[in-house]
Amino acid sequence: MNNRNTYTIKRENLKGETIEKIIKELSEDECKSRKLLGSSFGINIGHCVFMGSKYCEKFLERVEGYRIVQLHEDIVKQIGRHQNSIGVEFYEKGEVS
């Protein structure tokens, strides 16, 4: 049985049809064989997915996994330690550059 964390992305296309995509949480080893799409930080994974889809070309078509990461100290200073935020890296299949 696989107890891996996943996140389901739901959106509507121009025809009004609901499209659903499931992305999985990746281990550190799995990330080594995938291409990094980008990093985001936000209040939760949904917020980070939104930011990824806003700033990464064809994000929803390309993303296949994510990894929760430690926020960089500079980001923590900007948003303040009192705020609950997470950092997320998003990955697609492909050669590591």
- Domain boundaries, position 30: 6-93
Give pLDDT, residue 13. Answer: 83
Give pLDDT, residue 41. Answer: 85
CB 38, CB 57: distance < 8 Å? no
Q: Count how many domains the chain has.
A: 1
Tokens 């700033």 correspond to 55
pTM (2 decimals)?
A: 0.81
User: Is residue 88 situated within a structural domain?
Assistant: yes
User: Is residue 1 situated within a structural domain?
Assistant: no
Q: What is the pLDDT of residues 18-73, one digit of tens each?
A: 989 999 999 999 999 999 999 988 889 999 999 999 999 999 999 999 999 887 66
User: Is residue 55 situated within a structural domain?
Assistant: yes
Dihedral of alpha carbons 79, 81, 86, 90, sign? positive
User: Is residue 40 situated within a structural domain?
Assistant: yes
Give pLDDT, residue 1. Answer: 40
The residue type of 50 is: F
Q: What is the pLDDT of residues 79-93, one digit of tens each?
A: 665 567 788 999 999
